[in-house]
Amino acid sequence: MSHDPKVIPIQRARVRGRGLCERSDDELMELAAGGVRDAFGELVGRYQERVRAFCRRWDPERGDDLAQEAFLQLWAARKRYQPRGQLPLYLFTIVRNRCRNARRGWFRRPPLEPLSPDVSALASSDQLDAVLERERALRVDRQVAQLPPKLREAVLLRFGEEMSYAEIASIVGAPEATVRSRVFNGLRRLQEELLT
C-alpha cells in the first residue's frame, strides 16, 4: 500500500465500517505497524490459543510467559513484516525461536507441572470422563515436553499445528526430509512411552 500507514488505514477502516475482526492478518499487521494497538490486539486474540497451546506443551511451567514474549517480539518486528499472507509462518518462527532460546537458560527447570488445571472440572464428580481424558492429555503433554527440542518442535508443528512439511521446514530451517524423519522419531518415542 502506498499511503501513509499511520493515518489512512485507520480512516479507511472507519469509512468502510469494516471491523478489525474482518481484516486479514496482513492488514492488521500493517495497522499495527502504524501504531494501531487494537489491530495488534485482534491478532493476539486470533492466534493466542494456538501459540499458548504450543508454548505450554513446550514448557508447561513457562508456557504463557513464552507465548506473551513471542507476541511482544512480533510487535517489535511489526514494521519489518512483509505482507505476503504468511503471518502464521512468521509468528511460529518467532515462537519456535523463543521457545528454543528459553531452553538455554542457566538454571534447569523444575519438574513438570500440570497444564492449567481446571479446578472446577476436577471438583465435579459427575465429569469422570472429562477428568480421565484430561489425565490422558496431561500424560501426552508431559511426554511431548520431554522430547528432545528438535523432535518436539517437529511433532508440535506437524500434529499440534497441522502444518505442512514445507512450512515446518521453513520455520525450523531444515530440509523437508529431515523434518519428516524428526516427526517419525518423535512419534515413535511417544508411542514407546505411552502405548507400550
Partner 1 sequence: MTCPRTESIARLIAEDLPVAEARALERHLEGCPACSGHRAAALSLVGSIGSRPGVEDGEAFVRETLARLDRPPTRSARWRILAAAAVVLVALPLGYLGLRLGSAPDRPGTFTARGQRPVTGSARLRRQVGVEPLLVRGLDRRLLEDGVRLRPADALAFRYSNLSGRTLRLMAFAVDASGEVHWFYPAYLDAGTDPAAVPIEARARGKLLAEVVQPQGVVAGRLRVVTLVMELSRAMTVKQVERLLSGRDASASLSPLFPAAIVADEWTVRMEGNADGR
Q: Minimum Å distance from CB 90 to partner 1?
A: 17
Please state, in angstroms and rounded to a whole number, the distance separating the CA atoms of residues 166 and 174. Answer: 10
Contact 95, 74 (CB under 8 A): no
Residues in CB range of 96: below 8 A, 6 or more apart: 153, 157, 171, 172
Amino acid identity for residue 6 in this structure: K
Residues that bind partner 1 (CB under 8 A): 37, 40-41, 44-45, 48-50, 52-53, 56-57, 61-62, 64, 67-68, 71-72, 75-76, 105-107, 110, 113-120, 123, 134, 136-137, 140, 144, 155-156, 158-160, 162, 165, 180-181, 183-184, 187-188, 190-191, 194-195
Nearest of 39, 19, 123, 29 to residue 79 by alpha carbon: 29
Taking the least distance from each CB to partner 1, the nearer of 1 and 38 is 38
CB closer to partner 1, 1 vs 76: 76
- Name the minimum Å distance from CB 15 to partner 1: 25
Tell me which DSSP letter residue 80 carries.
T
Q: Shortest distance, CB of residue 13 to partner 1, whole angstroms?
A: 18
Between 15 and 119, CB nearer to partner 1? 119
- Min separation Cβ 82 and partner 1, Å: 21
2 vs 125 by CB, closer to partner 1: 125
C-beta of residue 132 within 8 angstroms of C-beta of residue 171: no
The CB-side HSE value for 105 (13 A sphere, CA atoms) comes to 11
